[in-house]
Amino acid sequence: MNPFELFAQSAKRYPQRVALKDDGESLTYEEVLTRVELLAASLQSQGMHDGSRIAILAPNCNLALVGALAVFRLGAVWVPLNVRNSTQDNIGYMKRCNVDALLWDSETWDEAYAISAGLSESVRLTALDSREDSRALHELSSAPDQVCAMLSTGGTTGSPKAVIWTNRVFQTMVCSFWIHLPDQTPGVYLAATPLTHAAGVIAFCLLARGATVLIHRGVNPPLLLAAIEKERVTHLFLPPTAIYSLLLHPEVASGDYSSLRYFIYSAAPMAPQKIREAVDVFGPVMVQLYGQAEVPLMATVLTPAEHAECLAGVGPERLSSCGRSTLLVELEILSPNGHIVPDGERGEIAIRSDLVMAGYYAHPAESEEVSRFGWHHTGDVGYRDSEGYVYVVDRIKDMIITGGFNVFSSEVEQVVLSHPAVQDCAVVGQPDEKWGEAVTAVLQLKPGAELDINEIRAMCRERLGGVMAPKHYYVWDELPRSPVGKVVKRAVREHFWKGKERRV
């Protein structure tokens, strides 16, 4: 099914239920459906059709999701642009996607015009509130392998590529979401991180079951915490860095979060101690999802019940895992030559599933490389234990080679993050005449916190040993981050390697 068809089913069942609510207005399912049809008709009148690639440039707001649904209704391809990206980054991405039209809202007109002016070929500019008589709108014809979306890879390790999603990928994701996060009643989902990424994708999963989607402009801890209580939020997604900011809020422990059923975290590992703090505050509702743009959201899951078991002392080490593979995913750990390795042995996490993308747009060589041996290669190093729990150790490109030994930076980061003064960190290798690369920790401290470097140095050496423990520690006011809040390790690494001919 096309993503619009999933939404339309909810609109038929719950026409008067609130579907979208931002800081400006609330829209029922019936009202959203009407706006979607009018916008889709307007796009059709301007020559857009099945397969047209249509970008959307809008902040987190109702219109951002209305626009995406209108693109789906037309049978066209949704290309979300993050308003936090630079103009040049968005121009480059639109060129890579060969976009036909750009939808904008009142706040992004100047940026949309600047993007359009920077493109060598003309792109039609259309307002998200455009309307046309929808009676002439053609019937939607959708096939499982029809392309419905092109989403950007994270770009934290290089230039972003466009990941191709088909209707089959989207439907598999939605089905997996509800299989593993079951709920008998439509919920209330709060989306605060960019709708162009995981927050928006989860919104479509919730809309497929008639939920209300509350949309915040960003992660504002006091507003977000108050909204959980006031709006009786049932579903919440945040990356770990944003959860850490919530836990630092002085009034976090005094709120009523009893409405929460699922507090989803993803996009990066979360330190076990931070998970314990989150469960203490928000209750037994934490759920971890592992995926990537190429395998959206639902490759593995660590459920609230499994979190509770770990915290009760049953397999506590599994708090460091990302759970077990989901029902519609085949996951294995592969050696460099494509052989499946035994449980406990490290290798590359690889996946076969209808959840896997159709490829990278206009990048056939990269598409073939990532699909070698008949598996999708995630680029993540990991291992699986005897009970099927998967542990992500590092990105292959983030591995540090020091004195001939391989050090996986995320393992070191988990230890550094366990220190109570540390809010976030990035561990990279910096050039060293003796070691080749020296393990280096760059820290961002909690507001008002002080740190004795000798204290954290001793802690890391005791827990990690001489090879893995960082040889250098630096405290930065702010770590560089991508538009969705991930630490950009390549920028940290570049700080130390700038001007070097060799990068290994």
What CATH code is carried by the domain that includes residue 344? 2.30.38.10
In sign, the C-alpha dihedral spanning 146, 191, 199, 276 is: negative
Which of 489, 404, 397 is CA-nearest to residue 441?
489
Choose the final residue of a domain: 115, 141, 167. 141
Please tell me whether residues 10 and 135 are part of one structural domain.
Answer: yes
pLDDT in tens, 230-277: 999 999 999 888 898 999 999 999 999 999 999 999 977 788 888 999
Please tell me whether residues 440 and 464 are part of one structural domain.
Answer: yes
Alpha-carbon span 272 to 284, nearest angstrom: 14
Please tell me whether residues 33 and 129 are part of one structural domain.
Answer: yes
In the chain, the number of structural domains is 3
* 51-55, 168-172, 493-497: range with lowest mean pLDDT: 493-497
pLDDT band at 229 (very low <50, low <70, confident <90, very high): very high
Instruction: Report if residue 320 sits inside a domain.
Output: no
Instruction: Report if residue 304 sits inside a domain.
Output: no
What type of residue is 33?
A: L
Residues composing the chain = 504
For residues 286 and 307, is the Cβ–Cβ distance under 8 A?
Answer: yes
Choose the final residue of a domain: 96, 116, 141. 141
Average pLDDT over residues 282-294: 97
Instruction: Report if residue 322 sits inside a domain.
Output: no
Q: What is the pLDDT of residue 501?
A: 54
CA distances from 312 to 10, 58, 297, 430 (A): 39, 44, 27, 40
Please tell me whether residues 427 and 385 are part of one structural domain.
Answer: no
Please tell me whether residues 416 and 490 are part of one structural domain.
Answer: yes
Average pLDDT over residues 32-52: 97
Q: Which one is predicted more confidently, 403 or 72?
A: 72
Query: Is the pLDDT confidence value at 500 over 80?
Result: no
Q: Output the six-digit token pair for 167.
A: 């209707």
Instruction: Report if residue 315 sits inside a domain.
Output: no
Choose the final residue of a domain: 97, 120, 141. 141
Please tell me whether residues 30 and 64 are part of one structural domain.
Answer: yes
Q: What is the pLDDT of residue 156?
A: 44
| Average pLDDT of the chain to the nearest whole number | 93
For residues 441 and 419, is the Cβ–Cβ distance under 8 A?
Answer: no
* Prediction pTM value: 0.86
Please tell me whether residues 31 and 64 are part of one structural domain.
Answer: yes
| DSSP H or E segment with residue 3 | helix 3-13
Which of 471, 497, 481, 483 is CA-nearest to residue 424?
481
Instruction: Report if residue 135 sits inside a domain.
Output: yes
Q: What is the pLDDT of residue 157?
A: 44
Alpha-carbon span 454 to 440, nearest angstrom: 14
pLDDT in tens, 313-365: 999 999 999 999 999 999 999 999 999 999 999 999 999 999 999 999 999 99
Instruction: Report if residue 171 sits inside a domain.
Output: no
Give the domain range for residue 486. 399-497
Can you give the CATH number for the domain in which 73 is found?
3.40.50.980
Q: What is the pLDDT of residue 405?
A: 75
Please tell me whether residues 127 and 10 are part of one structural domain.
Answer: yes
| Site of tokens 């699922």 | 262
| Site of tokens 């066209």 | 76
User: Which residues of 329-389 form beta strands (DSSP E)?
Assistant: 330-334, 347-352, 359-360, 376-384
Instruction: Report if residue 213 sits inside a domain.
Output: no
Please tell me whether residues 374 and 466 are part of one structural domain.
Answer: no
For residues 425 and 492, is the Cβ–Cβ distance under 8 A?
Answer: no
Please tell me whether residues 137 and 86 are part of one structural domain.
Answer: yes
Q: What is the pLDDT of residue 432?
A: 87
pLDDT band at 66 (very low <50, low <70, confident <90, very high): very high
Q: How many CA atoms lie within 13 A of 89 on its CB side?
A: 18
Please tell me whether residues 475 and 407 are part of one structural domain.
Answer: yes
Instruction: Report if residue 419 sits inside a domain.
Output: yes
Q: Euclidean distance between the first and final Cα of the chain, in Å?
A: 47
